[in-house]
A and B are shown apart, each in its own frame.
Chain A
Amino acid sequence: MSSYISKCLRFLAAALLVAAAGATYAQTGGGTIGGVQNIDQITKFVDGALPPIIGSSNTELAKQLLAPPLAPPLSKTFSLPLASRAVFGRSQPAFAPDCSRAGTAVNEPDQGDCNAFIGTPDGPGQFTQLSFSKNLGVGNIRFVSRPAFNPNFVPGDLKPVTISDGAALDQAVAFLSGNFGLSKTEFPLPPAGVPNAAPFVSGLAVAGGSVTGEQVAPVVIQKLVQIPRGLLLNLQDTSGQVVPFVPAPGVAKILIDASGIVGGIVENWQELRVDPTLDPANAKTRSQLINEIAQDLLADGGARIANVSAHIVYSSDWRGTFGYLVPAVQVYVAPATGQLNVDQLGLIESQKIGTAGIVREYALIGRPDFAVPGR
């Protein structure tokens, strides 16, 4: 009974904290559930999250962001023979009939892919496919492969992947640059000595069990290397803190199992150009940005806040075969942070609280002639 009362009291305390939430928010020793903030409180969160590089005048920052070092685009560097050799070896794939058509019926750039493959996509057989954007400005390249289905599989057949994170990253970089035409200069690889030496490598594991107590011990069967695109600008704030790379549209992923590279995804690695109509003189001030972001969050589902974080990024204004770079601030709103405890989870249930995080982008440079929605 006493534990029941204790639980009730803790629950009540958590509820009171959230009910009283505002600039402060619930924290009961576990994680944090954000309260619903008013405009002043949201403004404080956003101000605290915006990089200090964004100041009262951002013309110089905008000038720097509008002169990025862009590597040659995939439309110039992607080589089908090279990619095909890397994926299929000496085997000759079949090409889908529409591969030669780069335009739509109404003569617009086709945003779809050309598929080259060996095997049948359906059924149990082995299959390998290379897909790439018909207009490479779109920036998609996908390589998928699977072995034939083994109906007699037993967990002992699982082959653990033993490659180190560093070696996996090296393999991925070599594959992407050597076979798919991605420029290494747009890989924001960490320098030696940073605390997180392998920020782009994860192990993928499988495990199993049963109600009879059977345990299939976890086995790491793949390494996933995912390299986000970054442009080297060496942004620096007044305190001397340097942010070398600015995130840009595009991510490249490589899958490695015990046999080697078995898949790759290059997603949205667009051909990027500088927008000649953007004027650094129209860079928004810090207070303008804070106000714009806070008002938007208040108006559209972003007012429950436990944490806000933000980065300077590039967004893209897509034009059919290329994208204009849009310097922007990417904002992440977490309605809950940390490890929520049982009382906090109970509170979410009883008070019907939404916890999914929000990601939004807001243009750093204004356009006097028309408003660009900050999404």
Chain B
Amino acid sequence: MSTRMFGVLTAQILGALMGCAIATGAWALYIEEFAIGNWSSATCDTNPADDRGAWPGMADAWYNQMGAFGHFKAGRWVDGFMTKQHECDPLYNASCLDYLSWSGYGYDWADAAIAAYHGTHVGSNYWAGLQRYPFSADGDCWVRAGNSGNTYFGDQWLKFFIASSCFSADASTIPNIRVAMAKPNSVLRSHQWDGFHGIMWISGSYNGNYQNTAWAGHFVPISTAWVTNHHIQGKFSCQWYDPFNWFGTCKDQCPVAYSIGVNGGDALNRLLNERYNFVQPNPGSNAGYAWMYYPGCKPEGSPPM
């Protein structure tokens, strides 16, 4: 019996004992969390002004709720020696280890994963996420997705990826997100990428939004679960007299859900139906893509959608 099969069976048995077993026909997913709250005690960004102590708790909320549904909690990685090495694909550099087992925290070992750390976007090309230490092979402190050539998810296992990170699904990068979701010449591909247009916000009071995403993602599409629970309308940067945005002085938090398929229609059908307990067959291609968003959503950092 493989390590993965043993883990799945263990998870299902434990889930059943806890009275929250996923029903017959569903398949326990391997889940992983990669979160950073402290950069300043590492080397990539030693500025304490960039630390965000509450961020891992937000990712924990998703991870723990997924576990409560009987999925196998394959790894919770917070701070520590977080580098690009665990996220990048060997196609980029032979030292990349995204395929490594949970003991080596490779991103592509999980079926569903959440990452939580600072991000930016490099032009209209791709999202980049700030790590704690540089990757020894290239000295880079950023994981780089989209068409960077660094990241290829799904050729091993990773189907559903949440990037709790600024600009992680910025509208300007939409056409290229698909590139990191399929490795050239691989028949296996990733299914869905959820992130934010513009800047996102950190607070322990938002833990429930992540927990609710995991919860609702078992009953309605993950896409809907993500965008409904993370769209925070008219709450940020308001004038003091405008706590409910009656005067239009506020900004929003703008979630985006994204999928791939053989064409736009196929990608859209996956986007509108896939759940953590209803996983569609492997996408036949990443030629098509579809996304879900709130038109007019107005974040800090980027133009309105």
Taking Cβ atoms with an 8 Å cutoff, the residues of A that contact B are 31, 36, 49-52, 98, 120-124, 127, 129, 142, 144-146, 149-151, 153-155, 158, 188, 190-191, 194-196, 199-200, 202-212, 214-216, 218, 220, 224, 226, 228, 230, 241, 243, 245-247, 253, 255, 263, 265, 267-268, 300-304, 307, 309-313, 332, 334-340, 342, 345, 348-349, 352-361, 375
Contacts and interface: CB of A to CB of B under 8 A. Distances in A.
B6 interface: no
Given A205-B292, A309-B236, A356-B52, A334 B300 contact: yes
Given A204-B227, A224-B231, A310-B240, A336 B301 contact: yes
Nearest to A357: B201
Interface stretch (B83-91, B95-103, B151-159, B218-226): B218-226
26 contacts: A51-B240, A122-B25, A144-B219, A153-B269, A153-B272, A155-B265, A191-B246, A199-B233, A202-B231, A204-B292, A208-B288, A209-B289, A214-B264, A216-B265, A224-B294, A226-B233, A263-B220, A301-B52, A309-B239, A311-B238, A339-B301, A354-B45, A354-B47, A354-B50, A356-B118, A356-B201
B208 A267 contact: yes
B218 A121 contact: yes
B298 to A, nearest CB: 10
A54 to B, nearest CB: 9
Contact of A307 (B123, B237, B268): B237
B249 to A, nearest CB: 9
B237 A332 contact: yes
| Chief secondary structure at chain B's binding surface | loop
Contacts of B47: 36, 304, 354
Contact of B290 (A31, A216, A307): A216
A115 to B, nearest CB: 10
Interface in B134-167: 141-142, 165-166
A245 B22 contact: no
B191 to A, nearest CB: 15
A255 B237 contact: no
A362 to B, nearest CB: 13
B278 A216 contact: no
B195 to A, nearest CB: 13
Contacts of A309: 236-240
B203 interface: yes
A50 B221 CA distance: 40
A104 to B, nearest CB: 13
A208 B231 CA distance: 20
The 3 closest A-B pairs by CB, nearest first: A208-B264, A354-B50, A208-B290
Nearest to B124: A342
A49 B240 contact: yes
Contact of B200 (A120, A191, A200, A356): A356
A226 B118 contact: no
B246 A355 contact: no
Contact of A121 (B119, B241, B277): B277
Nearest to A49: B240
A340 B301 contact: yes
B290 A304 contact: no
B46 to A, nearest CB: 9
B49 A302 contact: yes
B291 A356 contact: no
A34 B26 CA distance: 47
Given A199-B244, A247-B243, 13 more contacts: A144-B219, A195-B246, A199-B245, A202-B297, A205-B295, A207-B290, A207-B293, A216-B264, A263-B228, A301-B49, A349-B120, A352-B130, A355-B118
A225 B304 CA distance: 19
Contacts of B244: 188, 190, 199-200, 228, 230, 245, 247
Nearest to A146: B220
B122 interface: yes
Contacts of B205: 359, 361
Contacts of B287: 210-212
B245 to A, nearest CB: 4
A357 B218 contact: no
A307 B250 CA distance: 12
A127 B219 contact: yes
A160 to B, nearest CB: 12
A146 B236 CA distance: 32
A268 B246 CA distance: 23
A129 B302 CA distance: 37
Contacts of B25: 122-123
B53 to A, nearest CB: 6
Contacts of B55: 356
A170 B228 CA distance: 19
Contacts of A203: 294-296
Contact of A190 (B229, B235, B246): B246
B64 interface: no
A214 B289 CA distance: 10
Most chain B C-beta atoms within 10 Å of own C-beta, residue among A51, A52, A228: A228
A345 B120 contact: yes
B220 A196 contact: no
A339 B292 CA distance: 21
Nearest to A360: B203
Contacts of A207: 290-291, 293
A300 B288 CA distance: 43
Contacts of A120: 23
Contacts of B119: 355
A355 B231 contact: no
Contacts of B79: none
Contacts of A302: 49
B183 interface: no
Contact of A337 (B23, B53, B300): B300
B71 interface: no
B199 A216 contact: no
Given A210-B289, A243-B243, A255 B52 contact: no
Contact of B294 (A150, A204, A337): A204
Interface string B31-60: 000000001000011011111110100000
B166 A355 contact: yes
A158 B271 CA distance: 13
Contacts of A51: 240-241
